[in-house]
Amino acid sequence: QVHLVQSGAEVKKPGASVTVPCKTSGYTFTNYYLHWVRQAPGQGFEWMGMINPSDGRTSYAQNFQGRVTMTRDTSTSTVYMELSSLRSEDTAVYYCVLLDVWGKGTTVTVSS
């Protein structure tokens, strides 16, 4: 079955960038879009964008345009989400999502 494996946690300073990996398995990597969604502490979910692993094409949410980059590595069936110019409001759990299967999430803390 589908597995989405994410790293545990990252701590970054304001202004820095973070790259969150999501290693996939259990299905044909190039067949389905992979989404990124984040959840700030005590808040709901915010869609960040998606990537087509087949050709690398992306679509980003307006709120993240210019700050987010999603890429993929077909040799390892891994997708990456890079968020730059981090600020304290970016402190959140970042999830990769395939169809209705969610990874366990990566906690990103932005603090000076």
Distance in angstroms (rounded) separating the CA atoms of residues 102 and 15:
28
Among 3, 57, 87, 104, binds another protein (CB under 8 A): 104
Of the candidates 7, 2, 10, the residue with the CA atom closest to the CA atom of residue 29:
2
Is 81 an interacting residue with respect to another protein (CB under 8 A)?
A: no
| Shortest distance (Å) from residue 87 CB to another protein | 20
Of the candidates 64, 75, 1, 76, the residue with the CA atom closest to the CA atom of residue 35:
64
Is 66 an interacting residue with respect to another protein (CB under 8 A)?
A: no
Contact in structure between 86 and 109 (CB atoms under 8 Å)? no
Is 68 an interacting residue with respect to another protein (CB under 8 A)?
A: no
Question: What residues from 16 to 55 belong to the interface with another protein (CB under 8 A)?
Answer: 35, 37, 44-47, 50
Is 95 an interacting residue with respect to another protein (CB under 8 A)?
A: yes
User: Which sign does the torsion angle of CA 103, 23, 96, 54 carry?
Assistant: negative
Is 8 an interacting residue with respect to another protein (CB under 8 A)?
A: no
Is 103 an interacting residue with respect to another protein (CB under 8 A)?
A: yes
- Note the residues at the interface with another protein (CB under 8 A): 35, 37, 44-47, 50, 59, 61-62, 95, 99-105
